[in-house]
Amino acid sequence: MAARPQNFVCQSCGAASARWAGRCEACGAWNTITEEGAASTARPSRKGRQFAIESLKGETHEAPRAPSGIAEFDRVTGGGLVRGSVLLLGGDPGIGKSTLLIEVAAAFARNRHRAVYISGEEAVAQVRLRAERLGLAEATVEVAAETSVEDIVATLSHGSIPRLLVIDSIQTMWTQTVEAAPGTVTQVRGSAGELIRFAKRTGAAVILVGHVTKDGQIAGPRVVEHMVDAVLSFEGEGSHQFRILRAIKNRFGPTDEIGVFEMTGTGLREVANPSELFLSERELGSPGTAVFAGIEGTRPLLVEMQALVAPTTLGTPRRAVVGWDQSRLSMVLAVLEAHCGVRLSGHDVYLNVAGGLRIQEPAADVAAAAALVSSLARAPLPADAVYFGEVSLSGAVRPVAQTAARLKEAQKLGFVRAILPEGARGETPEAGLALLPVGMLVNLVSEIAARGDTSRRGARDRDVAAE
């Protein structure tokens, strides 16, 4: 008996099924299954071809890269774009993907590489207008508004092969090789496949733009993520002008580096020292904030962690976190309750990483704990101190990597004390930076709480004096 063709494809995760359903069994999304043209299930008519098998040991060629000259972009890609590689750039609509890529294309053109920018969303005039606004009107980037992958490949296979091809966006592309409407998962996958083949065949580096849905998935192109060599995401808060370029996957480079940009009236500006930017909006002297000395990739980065701990009106208190890991917060709260005598079961807890940055390091535990206790005790932390260290379930503060780099950055930005794990004591201190090692979290908590008591007593005394 022949298997029934799997014509129904979930537009969210790409799972195929033989029947329509309201809810995708694979990813649980509702109303995402649509019927698409049958994928070819016919047996291949030709026999397998023999190919040469090589030994793993052998000549390795360093992947030939072309740096763009935009340092923040090159850092994230691992030193530039590798020949024949395909990169997917995801991000919310309006975050600045097109702006970034026209700037990258212009940088390649400036380095005398052929750079082609194909827009499936905007007319050439609109692309030109943006370039003018960015001061790139004179750049020798080639532009076209086109959506047919076959036409694009045919056009670019003639003459000199571009060093960089930008496709903005993959959702607008369609290929004749599959029978499905543009924008469907099948089309996106088919178009990406064709463009990847073009890249591998010609050695052109291809950047695909992918839109992101509300829940942060690269819509449709999520199914493309495993086909491409690198996935970058361009992030930022609508209310802030800075943007972070992050590598999620990179076959040719690191995945923990970030690039920081600032969106200005004349395009994206590189931010060489992000700590200054992230600390620029600090409210000094208010309780519930602690400066975390973090590391992103190879680069130290100081950010402010803000906490609000307030009595709850709900049966189950709220725990909300923006920019950090929810389970990490739960762990820190549990340690505070179990080992530090901090009662939080009657309090809502909110934690926010200032400036829209997303932190992934456990080294932020101590800064988070300090901010939380500071808010609960209404005791402002010293404005000239930085915090870092991992908290273990036993309540001990554990050393973290790259202590020296963190301390150096803190000292550079004018901080005078660092609260750090005890084991890190051996690190060479920076001139003018006092090191205050903490062995157990409870010691830090009681020190902050004691400060809260005295400052409240001080306030009461002032109130009494004013009467």
In whole angstroms, the minimum distance from the beta carbon of 124 to Mg ion comes to: 14
Out of 14, 84, 96, 287, which residue is the one contacting ligand TYD (CB under 6 A)?
A: 96
* 95: contact with ligand TYD by CB under 6 A: yes
Number of chain positions touching ligand TYD (CB under 6 A): 15
In whole angstroms, the minimum distance from the beta carbon of 74 to ligand TYD comes to: 20
* 259: contact with ligand TYD by CB under 6 A: no
* 243: contact with ligand TYD by CB under 6 A: no
Q: Which amino acid is it at 105?
A: A
Q: Give the number of other Cβ atoms within 10 Å of residue 100's Cβ.
A: 27
- Complex with ligand TYD: residue 245 or 307, whichever CB lies closer: 245
Q: Which residues bind Mg ion (CB under 5 A)?
A: 98
DSSP string spanning 405-452?
HHHHHHHHTT--EEEEEGGGGGSPPPTT-EEEEESBHHHHHHHHHHHH
* 97: contact with ligand TYD by CB under 6 A: yes
- Complex with Mg ion: residue 118 or 295, whichever CB lies closer: 118
The window from 32-40, 59-67, 97-105, 452-460 that contacts ligand TYD (CB under 6 A) reads 97-105
- Complex with ligand TYD: residue 237 or 384, whichever CB lies closer: 237
Q: Give the number of other Cβ atoms within 10 Å of residue 172's Cβ.
A: 22
Q: DSSP code of 43?
A: P
Out of 5, 28, 64, 94, which residue is the one contacting ligand TYD (CB under 6 A)?
A: 94
Give the one entry of Mg ion, ligand TYD, none that residue 96 binds, where binding means its C-beta sits below a cut-off of 5 to 8 angstroms depending on kind. ligand TYD
Is residue 120 a contact partner of residue 145, using CB atoms and an 8 Å limit?
yes
* 159: contact with ligand TYD by CB under 6 A: no
> Which among 409, 408, 321, 405 is positioned nearest to 365, based on CA atoms?
321
In whole angstroms, the minimum distance from the beta carbon of 102 to Mg ion comes to: 9
Query: Token digits for 131?
Result: 């370039």
How many residues make up the chain in this entry?
Answer: 467
Q: How far is CA 60 from CA 55, 233, 328, in A?
A: 11, 30, 41
- Complex with ligand TYD: residue 136 or 366, whichever CB lies closer: 136
In whole angstroms, the minimum distance from the beta carbon of 437 to ligand TYD comes to: 45
Out of 11, 12, 77, 98, which residue is the one contacting ligand TYD (CB under 6 A)?
A: 98
- Complex with Mg ion: residue 152 or 170, whichever CB lies closer: 170
Give the one entry of Mg ion, ligand TYD, none that residue 263 binds, where binding means its C-beta sits below a cut-off of 5 to 8 angstroms depending on kind. ligand TYD
Contacts of 260 (CB under 8 A, 6+ apart): 72, 242, 243, 244, 245, 270, 271, 274, 277
What is the Cα–Cα distance from 17 to 131, expressed in whole angstroms? Answer: 45
Give the one entry of ligand TYD, Mg ion, none that residue 93 binds, where binding means its C-beta sits below a cut-off of 5 to 8 angstroms depending on kind. ligand TYD
The window from 2-10, 86-94, 314-322, 390-398 that contacts ligand TYD (CB under 6 A) reads 86-94
Core vs surface per residue 27-52: b (16+ CB within 10 A) or e: eebeebbbebeeeeeeeeeeeeeeee
In whole angstroms, the minimum distance from the beta carbon of 230 to ligand TYD comes to: 18
Is residue 259 a contact partner of residue 76, using CB atoms and an 8 Å limit?
yes
What is the Cα–Cα distance from 31 to 454, expressed in whole angstroms? Answer: 58
What is the Cα–Cα distance from 448 to 444, expressed in whole angstroms? Answer: 6
The window from 51-59, 259-267, 297-305, 412-420 that contacts ligand TYD (CB under 6 A) reads 259-267
- Complex with ligand TYD: residue 269 or 358, whichever CB lies closer: 269
The window from 95-103, 295-303, 390-398, 402-410 that contacts ligand TYD (CB under 6 A) reads 95-103
Q: Could you give the string, one character per residue 117-156, with x where binding to ligand TYD holds by CB under 6 A and - elsewhere?
A: -------------x--xx----------------------
Give the one entry of ligand TYD, Mg ion, none that residue 78 binds, where binding means its C-beta sits below a cut-off of 5 to 8 angstroms depending on kind. none
In whole angstroms, the minimum distance from the beta carbon of 266 to ligand TYD comes to: 5
Give the footprint of ligand TYD on residues 263-302 (CB under 6 A): 263, 265-267
Sign of CA dihedral 106, 107, 113, 116: negative
Q: Give the number of other Cβ atoms within 10 Å of residue 279's Cβ.
A: 18
In whole angstroms, the minimum distance from the beta carbon of 453 to ligand TYD comes to: 48
DSSP string spanning 168-198?
E-GGG-B-TTS-S-TTSHHHHHHHHHHHHHH
* 91: contact with ligand TYD by CB under 6 A: yes
Is residue 88 a contact partner of residue 246, using CB atoms and an 8 Å limit?
no
- Complex with ligand TYD: residue 267 or 452, whichever CB lies closer: 267
Stated as kind and residue range, the H or E segment containing 453 is: helix 441-466
Query: Token digits for 53?
Result: 């098998």
In whole angstroms, the minimum distance from the beta carbon of 23 to ligand TYD comes to: 30
* 93: contact with ligand TYD by CB under 6 A: yes
Residues binding ligand TYD (CB under 6 A) = 91, 93-99, 130, 133-134, 263, 265-267
